[in-house]
Amino acid sequence: MNEILENVVLADSVNRYLVAAPKIAARRKAGQFVIVRIDEFGERIPLTIADADPAQGTITLVVQAVGKSTAQMATLKPGDRLLDVVGPLGAPTHIERVGTVAVVAGGIGIAPAHPVAQAFKQAGNTVIAILGARSKNLLIMEDEMRRAADEVIVCTDDGSYGCPGLVTHVLNDLIDTRGKPDQVFAVGPVPMMKYVSLLTREYGIPTMVSLNPIMMDGTGMCGGCRVTIGGHTKFACVEGPDFDGHLVDFDELMQRQAFYKEQERVAYERYVQRCRSQEHIAQANQSL
Amino acid sequence: MDQELDRNEIERLYNLKAKERMQIERQPMPEQEPDVRRANFSEVPFGYFPMAAIVEANRCIQCKKPTCVIGCPVGVNIPGFVRRIAEGDFEGAIHVIKETNMLPAICGRVCPQEQQCEEACVLAKKGQAVAIGRLERFAADWEREHGLADVPPIGSDTGKSVGVVGSGPAGLTVAIDLRRAGHAVTIYEALHLPGGVLMYGIPEFRLPKAIVNAEVDVVQQMGVDIEYNTIIGQIETVDELLDRHDAVFLGTGAGLPWFMDLPGENLCGVYSANEYLTRCNLMRAYDFPNYDTPIAASERIAVVGGGNVAMDVARTAVRLGAEEVYLIYRRSEAEMPARLEEIHHAKQEGVILKLLHNPVRYIGDEEGRVCQVECVRMELGEPDASGRRRPVVVEGSEHTIDVDTVVVAIGNGPNPLVPRTTDNLEVDPKRGTVVTNMNTMRTSKRGVFAGGDIAVGAATVILAMGHGRQAARSINHFLATGVWDIDELPEAFRENGAG
- Chains A, B: CB contacts within 8 A come to 115
Tell whether the model's pLDDT for residue B493 goes beyond 80.
Answer: no
Mutate to test the interface with A, among B293, B320, B369, B418 (most CBs of A within 10 A): B293
Chain A neighbors of B199, CB-CB under 8 A = none
Are A86 and B259 an interchain contact pair (Cβ–Cβ within 8 Å)? Answer: no
Percent of chain B at pLDDT exceeding 90:
77
Asked if A116 contacts A93 with a C-beta cutoff of 8 angstroms, the reply is yes
Q: Given pLDDT bands bounded at 50, 70 and 90, which one contains residue B125?
A: confident
Q: What is the pLDDT, as a whole number, of residue B294? A: 95
Are A220 and B292 an interchain contact pair (Cβ–Cβ within 8 Å)? Answer: no
**Chain A interface includes B290 (CB < 8 A):** yes
Paired strand residues for B236: B232
Tell whether the model's pLDDT for residue B411 goes beyond 70.
Answer: yes
Candidate from B269, B271, B291 with C-beta closest to A41: B291
Tell whether the model's pLDDT for residue B74 goes beyond 90.
Answer: no
Are A84 and B228 an interchain contact pair (Cβ–Cβ within 8 Å)? Answer: yes
Asked if A123 contacts A154 with a C-beta cutoff of 8 angstroms, the reply is no
Helix (H) or strand (E) holding A179: none
The whole-angstrom separation of Cα A130 and Cα A64 is: 20
**Chain B interface includes A111 (CB < 8 A):** no
CA distances to A87, A190, B29, B296 from A16, rounded to whole Å, are 18, 22, 56, 32
Candidate from A68, A86, A216 with C-beta closest to B231: A86
The whole-angstrom separation of Cα B113 and Cα B204 is: 20
Asked if B53 contacts B138 with a C-beta cutoff of 8 angstroms, the reply is yes
Bigger pLDDT: B494 vs B208 = B208
pTM score of the predicted model: 0.93
pLDDT tens by residue, B188-200: 999 999 999 999 9
Asked if A70 contacts A76 with a C-beta cutoff of 8 angstroms, the reply is no
Chain B neighbors of A84, CB-CB under 8 A = 192, 228-229
Q: What is the mean pLDDT of residues A68-92?
A: 95
The whole-angstrom separation of Cα A157 and Cα A144 is: 21
Q: What is the mean pLDDT of residues A38-50?
A: 94
Distance from CA of A46 to the nearest CA of B (A): 13
**Chain A interface includes B348 (CB < 8 A):** no
Are A255 and B268 an interchain contact pair (Cβ–Cβ within 8 Å)? Answer: yes
Distance from CA of A84 to the nearest CA of B (A): 7
Are A251 and B191 an interchain contact pair (Cβ–Cβ within 8 Å)? Answer: no
The whole-angstrom separation of Cα B421 and Cα B239 is: 9
Bigger pLDDT: A221 vs B498 = A221
Rg (CA), chain A: 19
Chain A neighbors of B368, CB-CB under 8 A = 251-252, 255-256
What φ, ψ does residue A20 adopt, rounded to 5°?
-75, 110
Paired strand residues for A143: none
Q: Given pLDDT bands bounded at 50, 70 and 90, which one contains residue B100?
A: confident
**Chain B interface includes A261 (CB < 8 A):** no
**Chain B interface includes A86 (CB < 8 A):** yes
SS3 assignment, position A176? helix
Sign of CA dihedral A8, A9, A10, A14: positive
Are A256 and B368 an interchain contact pair (Cβ–Cβ within 8 Å)? Answer: yes
Are B266 and A252 an interchain contact pair (Cβ–Cβ within 8 Å)? Answer: yes
Listed in sequence order, the residues at least 6 apart from A198 whose beta carbon sits closer than 8 Å to its beta carbon are none
Are B275 and A85 an interchain contact pair (Cβ–Cβ within 8 Å)? Answer: no
- The least confident of A103-112, B242-251, B483-492 is B483-492
SS3 assignment, position B72? coil
Q: What is the pLDDT, as a whole number, of residue B1? A: 45
Q: What is the pLDDT, as a whole number, of residue A263? A: 92
Asked if A254 contacts A191 with a C-beta cutoff of 8 angstroms, the reply is yes
Amino acid at B191: L
The whole-angstrom separation of Cα A63 and Cα A61 is: 6
Chain A neighbors of B192, CB-CB under 8 A = 37, 83-84, 86
Q: Given pLDDT bands bounded at 50, 70 and 90, which one contains residue B3?
A: very low
Tell whether the model's pLDDT for residue B310 goes beyond 50.
Answer: yes
Mean pLDDT of chain B: 92
pLDDT tens by residue, B413-440: 998 899 989 999 999 998 999 999 998 9
Selected residues 189-248 of chain B with any CB under 8 Å from a CB in chain A: 190-192, 200, 228-231, 234-236
Is the peptide bond preceding residue A241 cis, with omega within 30 degrees of 0?
Answer: yes
What φ, ψ does residue B479 adopt, rounded to 5°?
-70, -30
Candidate from A37, A238, A252 with C-beta closest to B417: A238
**Chain B interface includes A219 (CB < 8 A):** yes
The whole-angstrom separation of Cα A104 and Cα A90 is: 20
Q: What is the pLDDT, as a whole number, of residue B255? A: 86
Listed in sequence order, the residues at least 6 apart from B149 whose beta carbon sits closer than 8 Å to its beta carbon are B143, B214, B218
The whole-angstrom separation of Cα B273 and Cα B268 is: 14
Tell whether the model's pLDDT for residue B331 goes beyond 50.
Answer: yes
SS3 assignment, position B272? strand
Short-list B147, B153, B155, B45, CA closest to B102: B153
Percent of chain B at pLDDT exceeding 70:
98
Amino acid at A17: Y
Chain A neighbors of B416, CB-CB under 8 A = 220, 238
Q: What is the mean pLDDT of residues B123-141?
A: 92
What φ, ψ does residue B136 adopt, rounded to 5°?
-60, -45
CA distances to B28, B59, B340, B355 from B20, rounded to whole Å, are 19, 9, 29, 42
pLDDT tens by residue, B215-257: 999 999 999 999 999 999 999 999 999 999 999 999 999 889 9
Helix (H) or strand (E) holding B382: strand B370-383
The chain A residue lying nearest B421, using CA atoms, is A91
Amino acid at B332: S
Chain B neighbors of A73, CB-CB under 8 A = none
Q: What is the pLDDT, as a whole number, of residue B402? A: 97
Tell whether the model's pLDDT for residue B495 goes beyond 80.
Answer: no
Cα dihedral B101→B103→B109→B113 (10° resolution): -20
Q: Given pLDDT bands bounded at 50, 70 and 90, which one contains residue B489?
A: confident
**Chain A interface includes B363 (CB < 8 A):** no
**Chain A interface includes B255 (CB < 8 A):** yes
pLDDT tens by residue, A205-263: 999 999 999 999 999 999 999 999 999 999 999 999 999 999 999 999 999 999 999 99
**Chain A interface includes B122 (CB < 8 A):** no
Asked if B413 contacts B429 with a C-beta cutoff of 8 angstroms, the reply is no
3-state helix, strand, coil in chain B (%, to 5): 40, 15, 45
Bigger pLDDT: A124 vs B14 = A124
pLDDT tens by residue, B21-49: 888 999 999 999 999 999 999 999 999 99
H-only helix segments in A124-258: 142-148, 167-178, 190-203, 236-239, 250-257
**Chain B interface includes A275 (CB < 8 A):** no
Candidate from B228, B235, B266 with C-beta closest to A233: B266
Distance from CA of B39 to the nearest CA of A (A): 21
Mean pLDDT of chain A: 94
Distance from CA of A218 to the nearest CA of B (A): 9
- Cα B394–chain centre separation: 35
Q: What is the pLDDT, as a whole number, of residue B497? A: 41
Candidate from B235, B272, B369 with C-beta closest to A88: B235
The whole-angstrom separation of Cα B405 and Cα B268 is: 8
Tell whether the model's pLDDT for residue B496 goes beyond 50.
Answer: no
